[in-house]
Structure 1
Amino acid sequence: MIKLKPSSAKVQSFLAERGQEFIVQQMPASTRTAKDAAEAIGCRVEQIAKSLIFKDDESKSAVLIIASGSNQVSLEKVKEQTGMQLGKADADFVREKTGFAIGGVPPVAHTTEIITLLDQDLQQFNEIWAAAGTPNSVFKLTPEQLGDLTHGRWLDIKK
């Protein structure tokens, strides 16, 4: 078995501490983009739960949107449903708030409490795949497990 990189091991530990039987997998190819991840895993792009970090303009808090790999996020729809005006988060902000670099941000195991919004389009799948701390590590889960682990709010966020 391949030894996990520290960031992926952090995700695996988080999941194990919550009694989850998830297995973080390091892929031979990049999973940095949803398309890359789907190709490496052998699933549909829509089954990739991509993590996107935004900054709430008012509170300056990090907001994680976990979107289906084929969807673009409508910030207008997010504002209508949450009241939050979201702005772009730079790489330093993402690392500070999550503990992970862009391209490998998992839906869990962050260094700070993060508001999480979930793309309702992910609910149509029996299994989805999420980043696990590095640009080439992933883990499989169900949409229900994603909701339970993140305490996220399911919304219509597709552009």
Structure 2
Amino acid sequence: MSLEKVKSHFKQWNRDKDVMEFDSSSATVQQAADTIGVVPARIAKTLSFRGASDKAILVVTAGDTKIDNKKFRHQFNFKARMLSPDEVLEQTGHAIGGVCPFGLANDLDVYLDISMKRFESLFPACGSTNSAIELTCDELFEYSYAKKWVDVCKGWEAEEVKEIVGASDKRV
């Protein structure tokens, strides 16, 4: 089970008990934000792309972003092409809705987008469509074995988000 593999991954930092499991779905950014009680931007979504070889790469971004194709190509030297749901499962070991950079089926390169750095903590999925864990950016970097921080997203504005977070971040 994917969730169990992620929990096992977190045992090395004694964080396996911090994985939250929900009665409701957290498969989409909005569902996860509603379930946890935070703004969608604080959901760390993991996107899977075809790498330069057959191996996928993962890019973890803030929940309110979109990939900027020009920035992506400049950063990685290839076009951003997302994997199909079957390819995501094969490469990561996680099904769509629970994809995360933890407990992966294959040794994949993980990159974190700077859009997440505006938050003290974020909530990535944990291998299932009803799980998450709260992590700081430093923890996310360490626990995902990320290669580096990148700037490959668009659609987020730091000033707008500050206002939203201050007004409606009602974490339970």
Cross-structure match for 2:3: 8
For residues 27-65 of structure 1, what are the alpha-carbon distances to aligned partners after superposition, in whole Å with 9 as ceiling and x for unaligned? 121111111101100011111100111112x31220111
- Pairing 1:32–2:27 present: yes
Does the CA-based 8 Å contact 1:24-1:132 persist in structure 2?
Answer: yes
Q: After TM superposition, where is structure 1 displaced by more than 6 Å over at least 4 residues in a row?
A: none
Does the CA-based 8 Å contact 1:8-1:24 persist in structure 2?
Answer: no
For residues 64-122 of structure 1, what are the alpha-carbon distances to aligned partners after superposition, in whole Å with 9 as ceiling and x for unaligned? 11110000111321111222333121111111111111110122110101111211011
Using the size of structure 1 for normalisation, the TM-score is 0.89
Cross-structure match for 1:49: 44
Which blocks of at least 5 consecutive residues in structure 2 are unaligned? 155-172
**Cα RMSD after superposing both structures:** 1.3
Total equivalences in the alignment: 152
Cross-structure match for 1:3: none
1:100 to 85, 94, 102: 94
Which blocks of at least 5 consecutive residues in structure 1 are unaligned? 1-5
Distance 2:32 2:105 in 1: 24
Amino acid at match of 1:32: A
Alignment of 1:77-156 (within 5 A): 77-152=71-146, 153-156=148-151
Amino acid at match of 1:52: L
